[in-house]
Amino acid sequence: MNTAIEFRHVRKTYGDTVVIPDLNLKIETGEFVTIIGSSGCGKTTALKMINGLYEPTDGDILVNGENIKEKDMIMLRRGIGYAIQGSVLFPNMTVEQNISYVPSLLNKKDRKKTAQAVDKWMEMVGLDFSMKERYPSELSGGQQQRVGIARALAASPDILLMDEPFGAVDAITREQLQSEIKTIHQKTGITILFVTHDIEEALKLGTKVLVMDRGEIQQYGTPKELLQDPKTGFVERLVEKQRRMCFLPEGNLKDCEYCGAVCGSPKE
């Protein structure tokens, strides 16, 4: 297995405040990593250091085996999609122009290829083609979120960073977006890092879950490992409720009617 992202002794401070003391982590290519932890523990900071929006105070970050210090930032960011909570769309561009922004830069001479990319990703995130000519202000919050994800994916990144992307949408839209992103991951095989505040979402979507507290890793493991073998008290408290549930094969958690105890595995 190849390593998509590696943190080597990464330290990040703001003035005298140490946000991340010494982060060491390897993320394999194709993994869907959900990141969960207390507010202010350094999740956004860690994500932004991967695409060079923040610089580590010390240590190294490798993307696809290359130290990002030695890479051209524009080239680095082209390979890394970034989707964040709320709308970050260009307000004066239509849906189609927003999604085609990066592909049209990359395929300057091939408009057909760009148009195909727009259609492909609009379909994948469940956006009706009739919305192409609309502006972001003419869309609902959930639709804007979908355009943001389609735009991040249209650049064909091999890594996608998502910072609480479904935080601002209602429960039904959230569930739809969750199953869409899961399908996209399965179809494309890209590496996804997804920050969430919701443990159920973290367990449901992640092939691996990264639990952080005060800039330190509490546990990095599969949902099943977290449920069956929480390594610290912090993780134990986090998954307390879910441990009384069954972990169904399709990734849904369900109240366990049978065992009522630590389960974390499919119930026959």
- The answer to whether 145 contacts Mg ion (rule: CB under 5 A) is no
Phi, psi of 101 (to 5 degrees): -55, -55
Cβ closest to ligand ATP, residue 17 vs residue 186: 17
- Classify burial at 56, counting beta carbons within 10 Å of its beta carbon; exposed 0-12, middle 13-18, buried 19 or more: buried
Residue among 4, 5, 33, 45 that touches ligand ATP (CB under 6 A)? 45
Cβ closest to Mg ion, residue 234 vs residue 247: 234
Which segment (34-42, 102-110, 130-138, 220-228) binds ligand ATP by CB under 6 A? Answer: 34-42
- The answer to whether 196 contacts ligand ATP (rule: CB under 6 A) is no
- The answer to whether 151 contacts ligand ATP (rule: CB under 6 A) is no
Cα torsion 168, 173, 175, 176: sign: negative
Contact 81, 99 (CB under 8 A): no
How far is 157 from 113, CA to CA, in rounded Å? 16
Cβ closest to ligand ATP, residue 158 vs residue 198: 198
- The answer to whether 34 contacts Mg ion (rule: CB under 5 A) is no
- The answer to whether 40 contacts ligand ATP (rule: CB under 6 A) is yes
Cβ closest to Mg ion, residue 36 vs residue 80: 36
Contacts of residues 216-221 at CB distance under 8 Å and 24 or more positions apart, as own/partner, are 216/21, 216/23, 217/23, 217/24, 217/25, 218/37, 220/25
3-state secondary structure of 192: strand
Shortest Cβ distance from residue 211 to Mg ion (Å)? 15
Q: Which residues bind Mg ion (CB under 5 A)?
A: 44
